[in-house]
Structure 1
Amino acid sequence: MRRVKLRLADLDVEFADRDTALRQVEEFAERGTYPVYVIYGPEGCGKTALFRQAKAILEEHGYIVIYFSPMEKEFEYRLSVSDDAKELVKPVLEVLLGENGAKFVERAIELASRVMRYRERVAVLADDIFQAVGLERAEIYVKMLLNLIEYPSAPIERVVVLVGSSEGTTRVRVGRHSWALLRGMWNMSRDGFRELYEQISGEKPSFDEVWRWTGGNPRYLAELYKAEWDVEVVVKGLVRRKGLDKLAKKWRQGLERAVEDPDYLWDEYPRTEGLIQELTELNLLSETGYRDTYLWIDQPPPVDKELGIGEKYAWQTPLHREAVRRILREIGS
């Protein structure tokens, strides 16, 4: 299997780890998907990298793949169509690339429908579309993608439709319908993350130290690298970007308990319902309660209180938890 090249900050790296997830993608290739698979996971956990590797796998299995990510700024990552179909959709591509937001997503789905008229195996990989279309409309676009499977524009052998999202707040909206199967995805395993870490040359902290801060999250490995391994810079960036001062003033007591043990949020439910909602909306917290392997892409996270991973809830990375801890200290001093 060809491993794709990816960008990590300003570095070229090779796709690493995720052997279980890659086998799952091969299973999708062999039988198609029904209904739509929506993959949720922490921001930066590697969903986009997996989708780009999945594109290569699906093409090896004879699929025409339409990959799109409306939030990407770079042209080559916003929309990618398998080489064998580019001439077929060239007129549509030229129009589509001038669109943004919901219109871009709608055009990309139309493009996939067009390809189905000419090819027997088609895959659609829709990455981080909910933020582009509006979280309140997430389920509508899942239904549009399901229509590609149920009502293809021409007879077709197999269809694969995968959607990736870090927007945990849409899980309930999407999950209340039978239009999609929800699957979790977590940060990289320790061994797999080591493979990625070792592709970064030059002076750097020990692997154990980087693991303790990132919990295996590739994006925050990149953030640390860009900050010249200064944890303070990354933590302060999280505090500012997510507006944690307001959150800490509103939920101080609950947060003080949650940074010590995220399962406090479950133990005290429903009293903590509002706090859970806000932490989820800010992409600080993820639900991890169901660990049956079939409910996950790759492997579910093991309980690890040192990394902030509880039985029911987990901080998306130790850096996220540390950012909350720091702002609590500041407002308490």
Structure 2
Amino acid sequence: MFKWFDPAMARRVDELTRDHCEPKRGLGELKQLGNLFNEVYLLSLYQEMAAGIIRNTRYGAVLQIKLAWIDKIPLAKTSAKPIKTELGDAVLFAIEERRIVGQTVPIARSAKAVILQAKITERYQQIKKPTVPIAPMTGSTKDEYDLLSAWPPFDLYKTSGSGAARATGIVLNATGTKPQPFGWYMAAPKAKHIPSNVDTTWPSWWMLGPPVQGHDCVFSFGSFLRYFLNGMPIPTKSGPLTAGASFSCPSYPPDTASASGWDRVCAEIINIVEDPDMHAPQSVFGVNTSRMASVDEIYLDFIYPIELYNTFLSPYLINKYRLWSFNPSQPFDWYAHRPGKK
């Protein structure tokens, strides 16, 4: 649990998200979504979250937050549809590693992910009160909703033109229950002027809702991120719902051959978007941009270097590693003394 990511921090994340995204309010869907991948925004997000952490010098953990661009790559093919359907537009990853300084391989790793289907709207009723699926329920919007709301068995393809599937018979919803936690909707307004209800309906600019037709998009990006990172159920009118699901990630990038189900989907997405030949769309990001954007690693706490485990804390070692402070309110700042820090 990341207790430092509290409701107050969620509100601050909402404020910086709206401040960053609102000036681009007249742009289309993909360019508005691209704002969340911007280096300036991700740095601001890091600074906000890292400022709330109290580090200690006993255990070591690092939180990695990644955002993958998956618009039309990869795609799902179900037996009920003649064409392939995109999984979503982005994937939010959270990967926590337990580390010992001096070792290159983490001693433990946990990971979770959620698919985000982004939509913008110019329609008055949706700007007034955005509801899933935001766009009219026709064509690709209906195909996307059918996938996100029910998750029938599917084969996974790298691109629309791929002849062979990367994985077949993927089952994410063996029980047939709805909704499942794997994908959520995101809504943003497209408007020449700032919407009059921006403070109440669009406090983070991007608002989220579960894959339930007609469900309000009432969860701000900051609050959603808080629920997602802490693994807390989200109270909705459809009952408590989960944002995303854990997946196995014993190595990074995760191995695809031995994975199945949600593990396989996440492993395939990571391997596809981090392929150096799979650049993000030039029209949105410019030339040769990776499809995976990352917040700077957030050092939650710190483990002593290995040699300290085999000796007493001599004054020499205390001074060498700056591990001692006579002021408890100023704990050791691992980020400031991380390997490679000049």
TM-score, length basis structure 2: 0.23
Structure having the higher helix fraction is 1
| TM-score for both structures, normalised by structure 1 | 0.24
Larger Rg: 2
Q: Which has the higher strand share?
A: 2
Q: Which structure has more RCO (C-alpha within 8 Å, separation ≥ 6)?
A: 2
